[in-house]
Every structure is written in C-alpha cells, then in structure tokens.
C-alpha cells in the first residue's frame, strides 16, 4: 500500500512521515488509532441478557429496532449466547462477544431494520481520507426447530453522522432507510460459516462524530438469497440476520484489517478505494496489469494498463451503479466489484 504523509514532523526537519511507522524508539510501537470505542463489543458491566441501549456493550446504543448483544459468557443455547443462540451457531470473530441485528424483513408494510451507533473517539476531519472495516457473518439455524431467519441480503455497511440519533424505544416509529452508506458490502453477504470482511474508504465531507452499523437501504434496493427449502422454514419470518464484530475506523490504510489472515485470495487482493466511489477509483499494487471494466450487464466500458502502484481511474462521468474490474498479470486473472454512488 502507498504510504501517506501524516501530520507528524521529525524535530528540526521539514519531512513528513512518508514511509509508514519508523523505529524512532526501539521499544515504541507506532500504530494508527482506531477511532471506534469498544470495537469488538467486549466491554460490558455484567454478563446477562442485554440489548443495545439497555445495559448493552459500553459506548454502543440502538437507533432502530432491538439489535442483540451476543456473549459467550451466557449459557450454551441461551437466546443471546455464543456460539449457539436463537438465531445461529457462530463463534465470534475475536474475543467473546459480537453484535447481532436484523438486516432485512421481507413481509409486512414496515421495512424493519436494526441499527447500532457509537460515538467516535474524536471527530473526523473534513477532507481527510478514512479507512474502515468490520467483520460480518450471515446467521442461519439457531435453536428453533424451523429456521427463523433464512435470507441473506446485500449492502450491509457503515454510515457516519454529525449528530447522535435518539436511542430507539419500543413503540417509536421506525426511521425511513436513507438509501446511503459511506462503506458497504455490495454483494449478498451469504457466508454462514466464516466472517466476511466489509471494508472501504471515504473522504470525510463533514466533521462526523458518530458511526452506525446496519443495512440502510429499502427493500426495493436490496437483493436477497434464500438459505433454506421453503417447505422447511417458518414462513412468518422471511428475514435476514447479520452478526458484526471488529469495527475499525482509522486514517491510514494499514490501520484497519483489509484482508490479512483471511485466506490467500483476500490477503493478496488489490486494494480498490474508495469503494463505493464517486469521481475516482484507486487501484493499489498492480502496476503492469492489463485491466478491463465491465458494467452490470457485461458490456466493456474501459480497458487499458495499470501504470503505477497507486493508479487512478476517473469515473466521475460514468453512470452510477455496480461494475467489475478484471485484471490479468503473470498468468493470474482477478475480478473485483466496485460501486459508483451519487
């Protein structure tokens, strides 16, 4: 990844810190600050059944619906226990806790979603690029005889706000989906075994002070996948439920998890950022690759060569939507999706 100049100066020089974290003092470890408090939901007051906003994980609260605080300290098979609970069987990505939330509800007039929010440790700086990630897992199974949540959905993501949204209480109206997220997973998140990395970057256009996790798009803009035979499911609940862990927001690409330790294919994948994008898409560490961009129906939109390790493609005039970047280099062919938004 390309190093970026940080607001840190060596004493007596005019040089920024251009080459990452140098060994200024042998015993000091230089690392980016994660601006998300309690990012793995490990900090809590007592081990008992909790909801976000009702003695749940410290720093987090609910802003839509009743998301769940899932903990390994609860008895096996408890409604909010780990690994077995009402919704699924799943070990947390790290530590002993994670969050769980409804991310799609198919039936009924109310497009129900569950969102969680936390205050950032410091406000974002306008014009600064921020790198974000979290881990997500699609729930299926659980302790009920018939599957209760048996859909998967796309567009699980992260959204930022300058103001805190009032904590949601039972009886409150449900907020209308804003159909926007700063970082999202554009494909259907359907892995019920492993933890999927959701990551991206964006340039702050406001001094955002809060981060929110959930699915922020209406049913009309959401794609879904059925996990189970319709004859085996409880038909009252055509819903999707997603687990979330390891939330991160930092100012340098190396500060958040962008694929290390999640399998060879992801670990060596090129970095595409920002994703979603508006005006420019940056391709990192693929100098010399032959590349093509196809639109959602397979039409060739652009082709050429990646000419640097931090190569920029201007996409401001392209139609908003989903695209696929194909790259070939040294006999290896790779394909990566990206999304253009307003």
Q: Which helix (H) or strand (E) is 336 found in, with range?
A: strand 332-340
Query: In angstroms, rounded to a whole number, what is the distance separating the alpha carbons of residues 66 and 153?
Result: 19
DSSP state of 89: B
Q: Which of 87-91, 203-207, 265-269 has the lowest mean pLDDT?
A: 265-269
Three-state SS across 110-176? CCCCCEEEEECCCCCCCCCEEEEEEEEEECCCCCCCCCCCCEEECCEEEEEECCCCCCCCCCCCCCC
Q: What is the pLDDT of residue 154?
A: 92
Query: In angstroms, rounded to a whole number, what is the distance separating the alpha carbons of residues 144 and 190?
Result: 20
Nearest to 160 by CA among 209, 103, 217, 100: 209
Helix (H, G, I), strand (E, B) or coil at 258: coil
pLDDT in tens, 179-196: 999 999 988 998 888 899
Instruction: Give this prediction's pTM.
Output: 0.68
Query: In angstroms, rounded to a whole number, what is the distance separating the alpha carbons of residues 292 and 283?
Result: 13
Listed in sequence order, the residues at least 6 apart from 11 whose beta carbon sits closer than 8 Å to its beta carbon are none
Q: What is the pLDDT of residue 143?
A: 82
Nearest to 129 by CA among 180, 181, 200: 200
Query: In angstroms, rounded to a whole number, what is the distance separating the alpha carbons of residues 92 and 244?
Result: 9
Query: In angstroms, rounded to a whole number, what is the distance separating the alpha carbons of residues 106 and 141?
Result: 18
13-28 core/surface letters (b: 16 or more CB in 10 A; e: else): eeeebeeeeeeeeeee
pLDDT in tens, 287-334: 998 999 988 777 889 999 999 988 999 999 999 988 888 887 775 566
Domains in the chain with CATH codes: 50-254 (2.60.120.260), 270-340 (2.60.40.3080)
Q: pLDDT band at 46, cuts 50/70/90? A: confident
High-pLDDT (> 90) share of the chain, %: 46
pLDDT in tens, 212-230: 999 999 988 998 888 877 6
DSSP state of 265: H
CA 52 vs CA 69, 77, 94, 118, 314: distances in Å = 6, 20, 19, 11, 41
Query: In angstroms, rounded to a whole number, what is the distance separating the alpha carbons of residues 152 and 233?
Result: 14
Question: And the tokens for 132?
Answer: 């974000």
What is the average per-residue pLDDT within 328-341?
A: 73
């Amino acid at each position: 990844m390309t190093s970026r100049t940080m607001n840190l100066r060596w004493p007596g020089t005019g040089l920024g810190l251009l080459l990452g974290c140098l060994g200024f003092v042998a015993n000091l470890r230089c690392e980016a600050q994660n601006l998300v408090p309690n990012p793995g939901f490990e900090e809590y007051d007592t081990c008992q059944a909790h909801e976000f906003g009702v003695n749940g994980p410290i720093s987090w609260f609910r802003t839509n619906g009743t998301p769940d605080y899932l903990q390994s300290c609860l008895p096996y098979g408890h409604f909010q226990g780990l690994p077995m609970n009402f919704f699924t069987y799943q070990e947390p990505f790290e530590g002993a806790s994670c969050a769980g939330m409804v991310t799609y509800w198919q039936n009924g007039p109310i497009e129900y979603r569950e969102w969680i929010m936390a205050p950032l440790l410091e406000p974002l700086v306008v014009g600064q690029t921020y790198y974000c990630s979290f881990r997500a897992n699609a729930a299926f199974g659980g302790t009920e005889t018939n599957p209760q949540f048996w859909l998967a959905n796309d567009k699980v993501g992260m959204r930022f706000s300058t103001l805190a949204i009032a904590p949601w209480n039972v009886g409150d109206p449900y907020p209308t989906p804003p159909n926007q997220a700063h970082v999202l997973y554009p494909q259907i998140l359907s892995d019920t075994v492993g933890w999927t990395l959701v990551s991206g970057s964006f340039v702050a256009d406001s001094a955002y002070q809060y981060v929110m996790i959930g699915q922020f798009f209406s049913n009309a803009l959401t794609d879904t996948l059925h996990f189970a035979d319709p004859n085996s499911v409880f038909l009252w609940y055509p819903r999707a439920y997603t687990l979330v862990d390891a939330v991160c927001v930092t100012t340098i690409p190396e500060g958040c998890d962008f694929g290390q330790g999640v399998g060879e294919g992801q670990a060596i994948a090129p970095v595409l950022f920002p994703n979603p994008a508006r005006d420019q898409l940056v391709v990192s560490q693929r100098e010399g690759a032959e590349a093509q961009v196809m639109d959602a129906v397979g039409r060739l939109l652009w082709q050429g060569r990646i000419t640097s390790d931090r190569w920029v493609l201007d996409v401001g005039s392209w139609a908003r939507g989903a695209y696929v970047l194909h790259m070939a280099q040294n006999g290896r062919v790779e394909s990566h999706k990206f999304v253009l938004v307003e």
